[in-house]
Structure 1
Amino acid sequence: MINQILFCFLLLDAFILYTNAQQSYSGISALDCSNNDKSGPSSAFLYTCNGQNRYCKAFLIYKSQPPFDTIPAISTLTSSNQAELARINDVTEDAKFPTGKEVIIPVNCSCLGQYYQANATFTISSIHTTYYTVGTEAYQGLSTCSSLIRANPHSEFSLVPGTELNVPLRCACPTSNQTKVGTKYLLTYSVSFGDNITALSDRFNASIKNANGLQEKETLFPLTTILIPFPTEPSSSQTIIHKEQSPFSPPSENYPERRRRSKRKLYEGVGIGGACFLLVLSIILFTIFMFNKRKNIGVSQSGNERSKKNFVQPEDLRVEIASFEQGLRLFTFQEIQKATENFSSRNRINGSVYRGGFGRGKILAVKRMKLDVSKEVKLLKNINHFNLIKLQGICQNDATFFLLFEYMKKGSLRDWLNSQSPDEIGSWTRRIQIALDVANGLHYLHSFTKPAYVHGDIRSTNVLLNTSLRAKIANFSLARAVVNETSSVSLTNHVVGTRGYVAPEYIQTGQVTSKIDVYAFGVVLSELVTGKDAIIVQDGREVMLSAAVVSITKTEYAESELISFIDQRLICDDRTELALRMAQLSVACLTEEPTKRPSMEEVVSALLKIRADAFN
């Protein structure tokens, strides 16, 4: 009887801890590559969306290790802002850290589907790479094997050097209960050998036990993560150097045996934990109840929270250049002349954009402009996202400006869609990924920049593809800041944009909101589905592709007509149901009333679901 009463008290104590916790600690199950979440959201994948906000600023701690031991390298690894990374660690933007030094990484954490995540990319460099080693060795447990498998279309046996992986990083936003007690930020900490709850709580002056639903003496497993609550931004003074930090290296030859041993330990742990089944079941039921309850609560963000910044004036361009991060280079006109062979026609990519070789095999795209570029430069200086083209350098020669960007070998999406080569037309899964790349880039612009920006000229020629056919948004010359979703910085009678992509409300009123990007994205999505241009010819006259797609969906035999309208080169792909779902999403983006169009966050969630179904 006494044992039963004791068990009830233990159950009650665990329940109280869990109701105050952001997430329950996943334990060693986070290291298992065969996890699934069919029974409900699992913290062994990523942290679930049970916070007060759907997106927020969050932090990670990464332990410096070669080759990821400098600010630029860690920024690239985690797709984080280089200037912010240097600022919060109180170092310069070209700093190098000693091996094992804890580095604080600020990230934009967003709820996509049912999980929070910060998006990063990783380029495979070794033939020995697996999802397990990417999650545990390159990212030190800040991503999980199972979430990597779900986020990428590649099988583990097709991970070859040069392959780019989507990496969902573990992050979370505070719950309403945590916010009430003063928590503003959550930091994801990767557990090291020897770490324990008491020592970490003392070091960070935080209630780690409550934040993770932990028991007092519970074991923390290396390469798993816990959340640390902070009332203010974490400080570099709270970081330490771990003396026994092994450098990043390919897995050893006995990797399969090591993984079998890891699984054997996991199964032993599960057997021991069988007696706690009732406790786990209670927690899961409570989680599902709270998750469903919070899904019905709308979270809005006040436009007043967005800071206002004045645009840089042309005469301030040199001052702006002087403040650029170390990774951005100021080129001379002579260097550009030599690299482009004096702007030779054979180096012309398109219009006033040239390809230039800058030594050691480095190729950049050089964009020549007569207009003032200060506004575009200021925006590009402050954004850092894999799906937005990266500015590498700048040059001014008299009244002419040259912007130097990363070179995208496959050219524009429009060029790729026009290709007649069977090897180049791709597949439905490839086109879904391209759509998701563009959507992720726009979601970042709309939700994670301060002030929020709209691109203003989304079109298939402004979507560029790299060698892996990953998409990046380019040409920010028409980008502008917006205050919120219902008002614009200014109304203009001079409407600028590209025919076939301009939203109707922008033409009618000149109002600029993020919904004009959503509309243009709907056109690009229609192009991906049909393979056609934004302006097509029907019955001898020009017709907007967007109008044609929308009109088809209103007919009695909409599905059969859409099937005949989609890219016939991919009919043999036998995944036309995916194309139909993409077409339906494009129609939602093309809704005439802007307030009825989905946000880019909702578009990303829809495309993630389509992509997940594509691989089932």
Structure 2
Amino acid sequence: MNYSQLVSSTCTLLCLNSCCSVILAQQPYIKKAATLCDSRDNSTSVLGYTCNGISQSCRAYLTFRAQPQFDSVPTIAKLLAVDPSQLSELNSVAQNATFDTDQMVLVPVTCSCSGQYYQANTSYAIQHDDTYFFIANNTFQGLSTCQALQAQNRNPARNLYSGMRITVPLRCACPTKNQNDDGVKYLLSYLVTSGQFVSLISNKFGVNTGNTLRANGLSEQDDTIYPFTTLLVPLQDPPSSSQVVGSTPPPSPPSYRTPPSVPPPSGGSNKTWVYAVVGVLGSLIIASVFGTIIFCMFFRKRKQKAEPASSSHNFESVQKPLNKKEDEESQDFWDSISSIAQSLKVYTFEELKAATEDFSPACLIKGSVYRGSINGDFAAIKKMNGDVTKEIKLLNKINHFNLIRLSGVSFNEGDWYLVYEYATNGPLSDWFHKIDKKFLSWNQRVQIASDIATGLNYLHRYTSPPHVHKDLNSNNVLLDGDFRAKIANFGLARSTDEQEGQFALTRHIVGTKGYMAPEYLENGLITPKLDVYAFGILMLEILTGKEVALLYEGVNTELSEMLIPVLHEENGKENLRNLMDSSLQGNYPSNLALLVVKLIDHCLKKEPSHRPSMDNILQSL
């Protein structure tokens, strides 16, 4: 072979190599790109897995974790647009079977190229307050991304409305030529949860960890994976229900076995075999030379940038960026939301900044609470720091009209942001304690008291376990546009079980001065009767229109002293007139007002057992 022939052959080989590089390439892991809805980073698979396989369409598999709304074969099949009979057969269950909450379900899909990305399509009807981020990471658990949803539907996030139906591209892929040559016939899109790592997931399906790393463009030095993302697992056989049911096997040490070489076909001549080997080696040598040159050219540039260190523990590579605090906060965020994000919306900080005009003072309601506009609806956004997970978990599992609704959360630079429903008329205290007092009618006041009693009764009797609010006061009662009351601020709430006689004791006395019951102040005893006492104080505020500090003026020991002239003297109705809020100007039924005073008196009894239950109070009101 002369020089020109060599050059020509080399160019042909390089051309073939460049043409095949797309087919041989693996899929880049998504990393944290799923949380950045405005990002269009092509270095990850945020918009979907590239259509680089040997087939335009193939059988693929997904995992999905059963949740209350989608926990049966029919509901999961409908959500993901798959054949219920195939779903039941793959999971070895009946076609009407129900799965346990968080049980992993295998889902068979037909994965096809749509433009430059693989996907399996389903559709979804927008619910109230849905966002692309919530749909992708909550409803579909990470099987899609907010970026892919926006690209697929070309509809701005602000234009989503209830009932609108959108297309949801599910993340799937078909094997590349390299994978096919190694015996890989299927790719499984596995939903990662907190605390998992590549070797554990690989072992679950009997797959070599190195093959899984390569399928996702990862390496032993860079194998960090995150919750609410998909990890491609290359399979030689379809997955089975036995691989996802039961305990997870412990991770094994890394094992990078060299794939077995393919024996020469029988009947082939030695000469043909030698030519094949020489051709392959020649291609490898040329590719290596050019690869080395390219690597050296870029290595010098990359070396100038500060690289994060990494350490390996139990074969889980953990990146350690230069900003350690930022990394720890980010990881704490993922760990915290992993258990709640299935039913709460997780907003990006950028979304909340947009909702509050970058937390403008003009949007400040009080303290650290801002009014925001999300999808055209007002919301109250409260900035908090410290551990707020207990409050989030409690609000996440309660659902009552008279308890403020938590609709979503966010986390940024060590601070939590809790997104609540917006109460148009603000805290109850604003209607009593201002110089220019606002006016509430008698009927409104009784309705507000009844609403508060209803919310507390639900908290005491119908949450599991029962809870005590511990900080009921007029600042923590909010009024909506119809002046219906909603109890807020559950930061001090504690669980207790009166039926079992299990009462909590504490030495850490916290609460609002004037509302705390004597047994709590003296002995730290926490029971539902603690809220009953505070409710009595609050009722007295509603009746008199005076804040707590003014109520205690002229009282020697117990606040119930001021009720004595009304309840135990002949001119009780005249004294009642002096007790009542002057803004009512006699516009109240005196007989019913006297009954309310008696109810307050019972709530303020020093002995907790002498106070009525919230259920009895509610019946009285």
TM range (shorter): 0.3 to 0.5
The TM-score, its normalising length taken from structure 1, stands at 0.46
Higher relative contact order (CA 8 A, sep 6+): 1
Larger Rg: 2
The TM-score, its normalising length taken from structure 2, stands at 0.45
